[in-house]
Structure 1
């Protein structure tokens, strides 16, 4: 039996090729009914270009960590879009506007952390890598850290500056 050859925009002639799968008289080595294919649970794989929304608490803490490091201005003062602004003084530099917004979020997060109890604030500092030692030997860092993150989430939800993320 001959199959048609499928080509993409091929105008020439092809030699007929015998396809051994469709020849009569050949049986598969293993019966098809005996072959068992394991089924996997239908879990949608994330797409490569799919954007996943970050956790609001983690986003606020990331901005706070950058602000605490004092390294928010990584370009050493060189503003790449400064020359695109008009000379009237009313134009907006998007880089500076984003940096000002990040600074406001970080300052609000810092204020909310400072308003927490000492053990919870220290747990946030320790979990964020701002502190190196856990100074509460009678308390578990993992338990207190979960409580502190829950309390900080409540405080950041109530804050005017950070509440829009939750």
Structure 2
């Protein structure tokens, strides 16, 4: 859902650029002003939803899981609650249909290739969000993000 929102924001920005008076675009300053306005619209920080917070934790958990821990160095996020939330999200994602499972990994940079040419990545991610949100809201390790 977040990816689709970002695409909508970019489309709005492009439309707004097209609406800008052509007289402004004839000068270098006018072009720069229009481009600055678009970059501010597109790069505006978005408020994280509970779903995106859990998915970010899951992606970090995947990275930490694959890194060997050396000596007594403990990552600040390597806490009991963090690990439980990451593991719970992993179990929920593993229950998804294969297309959605792969889409989640691709959207977080865990998988590098989209192997479903007959499916849209954006649709698969949105579908996964619809499936995962109620599960995350009810799971003991992740529901605190939704309250």
- TM, length-normalised to structure 2: 0.58
The separation in 2 between residues aligned to 1:138 and 1:145, in whole angstroms, is 14
Question: Does the aligned pair in 1 maintain the 2:92–2:135 contact within 8 Å?
Answer: yes
Q: CA deviation at 1:149?
A: 1.5
Q: In 2, are the aligned partners of 1:66 and 1:72 still within 8 Å (CA)?
A: no
Aligned residue runs from structure 1 range 34-49, under 5 A = none
Aligned residue in 1 for 2:49:
55
Indicate conservation of the 8 Å contact 2:81/2:141, yes or no.
no
- What residue number does 1:145 align with? 125
- Give 2:114's match in structure 1, choosing from 134, 141, 150: 134
Aligned length: 101
1:64 CA drift (Å): 1.1
Structure 1 residue 164, shift from structure 2 partner = 2.1
> Are residues 68 and 98 of structure 1, via their aligned partners in 2, closer, same or farther at CA, if it must alter by over 3 Å?
closer
When residues 73 and 99 of structure 1 are mapped into structure 2, their CA distance, relative to the original with a 3 A threshold, is farther
Give the Cα–Cα distance (whole angstroms) in 2 for the partners of residues 66 and 114 of structure 1.
Answer: 16
Deviation at 1:70, TM superposition (A): 2.3
Give unmatched runs, 5+ long, in structure 1: 1-51, 81-94
Determine helix, strand or coil for the equivalent of 1:70: helix
- What is the RMSD computed on CA atoms of the aligned residues? 2.9
Higher helix share: 2
Structure 2 residue aligned with 1:110: 90
CA distance in 1 between counterparts of 2:118 and 2:69 reads 44
| 2:44 corresponds to 1:64 | no
Report the more deviating stretch, 52-61 or 155-164: 52-61
Q: Which residue number in structure 2 is paired with residue 164 of structure 1?
A: 144
1:54 CA displacement: 3.4
Q: How far apart are the structure 1 equivalents of 2:118 and 2:96? A: 19
